[in-house]
Structure 1
Amino acid sequence: MNLEDLIPTDEICTRYKVERNFVHALTESGLLHTVTVQKITYVHCDEISEFEKLRRLHYELDINLEGLEAIQNLLSQVKKLQNQNVALKNKLNLYE
C-alpha cells in the first residue's frame, strides 16, 4: 500500500468538518477501513466516496450509527442480488 494513496483522518475531519469520534465510530463498526502507520491513522483514497455517503446520511439526514449499519447492509444485499441477476441473465442468454 502506497502512502501517497492514504489520507490522514485528521485531515478528513478538518476538510469535511466532522468530529474525530464520528470517524472512529465508523471504523469501529466496520463501515470505514483505516490503516495506522507510525501512530497516524489514515483512510485509503478509495474509501473517501463511501465516507462522504455515510457523512451525508449521518449529518444531513440525521441517521445514527445503527441506521448507517442497516443501510450499508441492505445496500450490499441489493448489490449482491443485482450481480446474481446479471449472472442468471447471462446463463439464460446462453440457452436462447
Structure 2
Amino acid sequence: MMKNDQLISVKKIMIHHDLDEAFIRNLETYQLVEFVVKDTDRYVYVRQLPRLEQIIRLHYVLEINMEGIDVIRHMIDRMENMHRTIQQLKNRLSLYE
C-alpha cells in the first residue's frame, strides 16, 4: 500500500479532535469526506486528513453549517481544478516561447 492509501480510524480522529458521532454522520451525508468501512469500523484515507481538518475548523471555529461547508468545499475544488488547468496551459505555452 502506498503512503497516500493508508487509512486512519475514524474513532482515533474523533478522540483526537473531540468530535461527536453526529458530525461524522453529517460528513457522510454531505459526502464531504470519503469513508472506508472494514469489519464494521470506519476509516479515512490519510491523504484526506488536511481536508477533514479544514472542515473541522470551518464548522467548529467559524461555526459554518454543513450546507455552507459543502458550498465552500465545492468552490475550493473548482478553484484547485482551475489552478491545475492554468498551470498546464502555462507549461504548454512555455514550449512555444
- 1:65 corresponds to: 66
Identity %: 30
Equivalent positions of 1:2-81 (< 5 A) are: 5-81=6-82
The count of residues paired between Structure 1 and Structure 2 equals 94
Q: Alignment partner of 2:13: what SS? A: helix
- 1:95 lines up with 2:83 in the alignment: no
Which TM-score applies when normalising by structure 1? Answer: 0.87
User: Looking at both structures, which has the greater relative contact order when contacts are Cα pairs under 8 Å and sequence separation is at least 6?
Assistant: 2
Root-mean-square deviation (Å)? 1.6
1:57-92 C-alpha deviation (Å, 9 max, x unpaired): 100000010111111111111111111111111222
Gaps of 5+ in 1: none
Q: Which moved more, 1:18-27 or 1:65-74?
A: 18-27
